[in-house]
Amino acid sequence: MIRFAKKTRMRQLLVVAILILAVSCLNKTDKEKSPNLIVSTEKEPTTPTVVDESKLTTIQWLDSSKSMGTVTEGGTLKINYRFKNSGSKPLVIEKVQPGCGCTVADYPKEPIAPGQEGEIRAEFDTKGREGVQKKNITVFANTRENTYTLYFDVTINKAKS
């Protein structure tokens, strides 16, 4: 009887091991199955982006982090970040993406010539906020390191009722 129980237990363990192995093989991603395949995590199918190295330039941030001090809740805080095209090709700011919905940003739509300066303008809505706020804005440009993060912080005092 003990032998029968041991054999049954061994068979159960073997079946479980085979099932685990089978499931782990089924869960391999396309990239694991074919390491040379480019897999996109986006919802829409896309083609790989080819970067034209001859159009890349460099950017120098004259200020990329701002401490805005203390303000009273309820207004809009304006923040400007200055930059310079320090390369030899026109600088194109492709997109600017604030880190949250309380911040909006605007950027130059025209290329910035080599040696020229530009500005990213942001507005932060302080309404309904209190205490220390730390926010960021991501900038995408035609540079080798194509993303940059700009930061600002502000302390917001509650408006007197």
Whether 110 and 153 share a structural domain: yes
Whether 62 and 125 share a structural domain: yes
Whether 84 and 135 share a structural domain: yes
pLDDT for 130: 95
Whether 116 and 61 share a structural domain: yes
- CA 105 from chain centre, in angstroms, equals 15
Calpha distance 73→127 (Å, rounded): 6
Whether 69 and 136 share a structural domain: yes
The domain total for the chain is 2
Whether 63 and 27 share a structural domain: no
How distant, in Å, are the alpha carbons of 94, 99, 135 from that of 106?
A: 11, 14, 16
Domain of 14, in residue numbers: 1-48
Whether 64 and 21 share a structural domain: no
> One digit per residue, pLDDT tens: the chain, 161 residues?
555 555 676 677 667 666 565 555 444 444 444 444 344 344 455 555 556 788 899 999 999 999 999 999 999 999 999 999 999 999 999 999 999 999 999 999 999 999 999 999 999 999 999 999 999 999 999 998 899 999 999 999 998 87
Whether 64 and 129 share a structural domain: yes
Which tokens hold the place of 107? 């950027």
| 0.75 surpassed by pTM | no
Whether 43 and 61 share a structural domain: no
Calpha distance 59→102 (Å, rounded): 27
**Domain containing residue 96: CATH number:** 2.60.40.10
Count of residues in the chain: 161
